[in-house]
Amino acid sequence: MGRGRLHMKVSFLAIFVATALMSLMMIMVTGFRVTAYADQSISVTCYNEEKSSLPVGRVAIFDLAQAAPTCNSLYYDCKGKCIACYQDSDYFDNVCTDMYGNTFLK
C-alpha cells in the first residue's frame, strides 16, 4: 500500500512539472508573438501647416488611419490642425494624412 502512494505522488509531481513547463512555454510564445507585431510600426512626422513647414515632432504608430489624430493628441502646438507624413517607397514625395483621413502628397 505504501508503494502505491509513492507512485501516485510521483505521478502528481510529474503532471505538475509538465503543466508548469507548458504554461511557461505558452507565456514565452505569446511574448514573442507580441514582439513581432512591434516591428510593424511606422514612424510619421507631424507638421502644423498653418504655423510653419518645420516639423512639430515624430511619433511611431501602428495604424495609418490614426497618424494625424495621434499627432494632434500628442503635441500641444497642433491644436487639431496637424497633418502626419511618412515616406512611401512608391512615391518621391511624402504621403500625408489629415484629421479627416484625406491622403495627399507633400
Q: With 0-12 CB in 10 A as exposed, 13-18 as middle and 19+ as buried, what is 81? A: middle
Task: Please give the pLDDT value at position 37.
Answer: 44
- Into how many domains does the chain fold? 2
- The answer to whether residues 73 and 51 belong to one domain is yes
> CB of 29 within 8 A of CB of 51?
no
Query: pLDDT above 70 covers what percent of the chain?
Result: 71
Task: Please give the pLDDT value at position 60.
Answer: 94
The pair phi, psi for residue 66, each rounded to 5°, is -100, 10
Task: Please give the pLDDT value at position 99.
Answer: 92
- The answer to whether residues 48 and 92 belong to one domain is yes
**Contacts for 41 with CB less than 8 Å, ≥ 6 apart:** 60, 61, 62
Low-confidence ranges of the chain (pLDDT < 70): 1-10, 12-13, 20, 23-39
- The answer to whether residues 76 and 89 belong to one domain is yes
Task: Please give the pLDDT value at position 26.
Answer: 65
- The answer to whether residues 63 and 36 belong to one domain is no
**Per the confidence metrics, is the pTM higher than 0.85?**
no
- The answer to whether residues 71 and 95 belong to one domain is yes
- The answer to whether residues 33 and 46 belong to one domain is no
Domain span at residue 88?
42-105
**Contacts for 88 with CB less than 8 Å, ≥ 6 apart:** 94, 95
Task: Please give the pLDDT value at position 97.
Answer: 94
**3-class secondary structure, 83:** strand
Tens digits of residue pLDDT in 44-63: 999 998 888 899 999 999 98
- The answer to whether residues 51 and 85 belong to one domain is yes
| CA max distance for the chain | 87
- The answer to whether residues 29 and 50 belong to one domain is no
